[in-house]
Amino acid sequence: MQEKKYRLLSWNVNGIRAIQKKGFLDWFKKENPDVLCLQETKAHPDQLDDALKNVKGYESHFSWAEKKGYSGVVTYTKLKPLKVQQGIGKKEFDSEGRFTVTDLGKFILFNIS
């Protein structure tokens, strides 16, 4: 029996709010990946509207910098994670919001900026 292949996409967006204004959600729907990793989101989740935080059919897992407008990553996944970890346990790195580690069972995905 052949194992399912997963479609994983990764994109350094240089600002999630900026790409939303340029049709990001339409592109996302069209591409329909199993997992989408974005880096350099440059926003806290409380700065985002519901359309970006709750994309239909996906879970979203954010990691953001203490400093607003700086770094940040988000992992959108159709696959149900066993575990999601923001950061790597080192304050000097984790304060920058550069890591989301997602255990998807068959593999562990590191979204790092």
Give the pLDDT confidence of 6-52 residue by residue, as tens digits: 999 999 999 999 999 999 999 999 999 999 999 999 999 999 999 99
What gap in Å lies between CA 22 and CA 19, rounded to an integer?
A: 5
Q: What is the pLDDT of residue 4?
A: 84
Q: What is the pLDDT of residues 83-100, one digit of tens each?
A: 999 999 988 889 999 999
Each domain of the chain, given as residue ranges in start order, spans: 8-112
CATH of domain 8-112: 3.60.10.10
Q: Where does the pLDDT of residue 55 fall: very low under 50, low under 70, confident under 90, or very high at 90 and above?
A: very high
pTM score, two decimals? 0.94
State the DSSP code for 51. H
What gap in Å lies between CA 98 and CA 65, rounded to an integer?
A: 8
